[in-house]
Amino acid sequence: MERRDVKMVQRLSPEEVTKRYGRLFCRGVFTLIDEGNGVAQVIEECSAKGPVEWDACNRKRAGGAITDITVEGNTIIMDAIIGEGELHFGPASKDVGGQGLRSVVVDGDEVRTTWVGLAGASVGVGACMPQGPGTIAVEYPDDVRIGGAHRVEVTVVTPKLIRAIISVDDTDTKERGASWSMLLQVARECPVGHFLKHKIIQLNPNVPEKTTNCVSVGVSFAVKESDLPDLLAYFQEKLRERTYSQETTMAYFVGLRIPPELEEYGWKAKSVIYKPHQALEIARRNGVELVEITGKRGTIGAVAAIGCFDLGVKAAGLPEDFES
């Protein structure tokens, strides 16, 4: 069980942390909050995969506020509760070290995540993450010692961000365009927020109005809530500029949990032929907002893209691809 001591703290900027410990490996820290569901997601981008995999194993073993961890390339994605969880490093910690997330606290427009690290694992949470881009400040105990056989407790302060998923369908024709390529380019050029993911969603190939592959596309961003209108305005403008279709629809959803009914609709859209009014009803019941760019037919796929966004590789396939 993790032991807790109350000590005086010092607050340092990321630049001061870098000056103290030298430039390390974190490329970004983003803390996404979904207060309606009481959950958070901490995304840490690293310059190498080894530390990511090692940190993921240590943090999952420790429990605490973390409920799930995935690794994607050099990025560690940690699902967590808003609140506090008890850390359990176990008897092996004195030999292998350990690290974990103890608490996530929303403080106005900022988020305070408190981490504990033992031995070599203390470097990751005590020196590396605190200097990463996206960090506002770090709070240490006055007598902090990192590495070796030491234990460190550190609170990392980051901006409060939300996850926005933006999706689109029906932007091309049989002669011109490709929705997946266009939306990826638009997302990469976006000056607002931090671009997280791009997803291609395979839909029912038997839809008569399809162009060739019958896919819709979605992207996600970590963004300050106050910047959301600018993010949406940017995508609306670029989609109007670059679509070739008169039936283009954009959809967007804010949050970390896709509602079950919405996910079910997205999965069924791979085998069922829906009508725009059916997609509209699903959207209305599940917090999806729709924007007609040039028309309504794209509503079907745009809503399905959000429903499938968190299905991993299943989003890109058809149901028969995953039958055992």
Q: Three-class SS of residue 27?
A: strand
Whether the pLDDT of residue 209 is over 90: the answer is no
Q: Find the mean pLDDT for residues 201-208.
A: 87
What's the CA gap between 55 and 57, in Å, rounded? 5
Q: Find the mean pLDDT for residues 35-50.
A: 96
Q: Three-class SS of residue 311?
A: coil
Please give the pLDDT value at position 121: 65
What's the CA gap between 207 and 161, in Å, rounded? 37
Domain spans, the chain: 9-161, 170-322
Question: Where does the pLDDT of residue 118 fall: very low under 50, low under 70, confident under 90, or very high at 90 and above?
Answer: confident
pLDDT digits (tens, 9 = 90+) for 123-177: 888 889 999 999 999 998 877 777 656 678 899 999 999 999 999 998 876 666 6
Which of 15-24, 84-93, 299-308: highest mean pLDDT? 299-308
- Please report, to the nearest 10 degrees, the dihedral formed by the alpha carbons of residues 206, 209, 210, 212 taken in order: 100
Please give the pLDDT value at position 89: 79
**What's the mean per-residue pLDDT of the chain?**
90
Which among 262, 239, 247, 261 has a CA at the least distance from the CA of 309?
262
What's the CA gap between 157 and 130, in Å, rounded? 9
Please give the pLDDT value at position 177: 61
Whether the pLDDT of residue 311 is over 70: the answer is yes
Q: What is the DSSP string of 168-182?
A: EE----SSS--HHHH
Question: Where does the pLDDT of residue 97 fall: very low under 50, low under 70, confident under 90, or very high at 90 and above?
Answer: low
Report yes or no: 136 and 112 within 8 Å, Cβ to Cβ: no
Whether the pLDDT of residue 225 is over 90: the answer is yes
Report yes or no: 168 and 303 within 8 Å, Cβ to Cβ: no
Q: Find the mean pLDDT for residues 236-247.
A: 93
Whether the pLDDT of residue 6 is over 60: the answer is no
Q: How many CB atoms lie within 10 A of CB 212?
A: 9
Instruction: Tell me the longest C-alpha to C-alpha distance in the chain.
Output: 68
Whether the pLDDT of residue 93 is over 60: the answer is no
Min mean pLDDT across 128-137, 173-182, 189-198, 223-232 is at 173-182
- Distant-in-sequence, close-in-space partners of 181: CB < 8 Å, separation ≥ 6: none
pTM for the model stands at: 0.91
pLDDT digits (tens, 9 = 90+) for 249-300: 999 999 999 999 999 999 999 999 999 999 999 999 999 999 999 999 899 9
What's the CA gap between 117 and 66, in Å, rounded? 15
Whether the pLDDT of residue 189 is over 90: the answer is yes
Residue 140: its H or E element:
strand 137-141
Strands (E), 61-191: 66-72, 75-81, 83-84, 98-107, 110-118, 137-141, 151-169
Please give the pLDDT value at position 7: 59
Q: Find the mean pLDDT for residues 100-125.
A: 89
Please give the pLDDT value at position 212: 61
CATH 3.30.70.2200, applies to 170-322:
yes
What's the CA gap between 96 and 107, in Å, rounded? 34
Report yes or no: 285 and 246 within 8 Å, Cβ to Cβ: no
Tokens of 278: 């059916």
Tokens of 182: 């266009």
Question: Beta strand 98-107 with 83-84: parallel, antiparallel or unpaired?
Answer: antiparallel
In degrees and rounded to multiples of 5, residue 133 shows phi and psi of -55, 140
Q: How far is CA 44 from CA 12, 49, 130, 152, 157, in A?
A: 19, 12, 11, 19, 14
pLDDT digits (tens, 9 = 90+) for 50-79: 999 989 998 998 999 999 999 999 999 999
Please give the pLDDT value at position 110: 98
- Distant-in-sequence, close-in-space partners of 243: CB < 8 Å, separation ≥ 6: 171, 172, 177, 182, 293, 294
Whether the pLDDT of residue 202 is over 90: the answer is yes
